[in-house]
Amino acid sequence: MSVALTLMIMLVFMTVGMLIAAILDTFFYRWLAGRTGGSLLTPLYAAAAEVSRQRISTEAPDRMNWFLSISAFLTLGAIGLAVVPLGPQAAVIGIETSVVLWGACESLVVVLVFLHGWSP
């Protein structure tokens, strides 16, 4: 399996996983609140409303850290998924200590989430 195909498969799985997580989050929120109905497109409507909402920023926003946190988060996600084997001898990064690398990526995600939250 080529590296490009493996990266494409990982990108598809990440996108589908985020969509499924958003749909399940909306479904369980409505179910626990006692509301019925709703659409599978509700998470997309919420995302569109969030994008079009007026932004409230701090007095001195740090745009460089904001963009840095987004790019680093995507990089850590790609590295974290690259060490997950998709089959026998089919991991993009096939090292013996891949669990340690994955754990390091997971812990750095927390740092990036805080960096992103405090930057705007």
Helices and strands counted in the chain (H then E): 4, 0
Q: What is the pLDDT of residues 34-82, one digit of tens each?
A: 887 777 788 888 888 888 888 776 666 677 888 888 899 899 988 888 8
CA distance 81 to 13: 10
Q: Of 10, 20, 5, 1, which Cα lies nearest the Cα of 80?
A: 10
CA distance 20 to 14: 10
pTM of the model: 0.47
Q: What angle do CA 27, 55, 111 make, to 5 degrees?
A: 70
Give the model's pLDDT for residue 12. Answer: 94
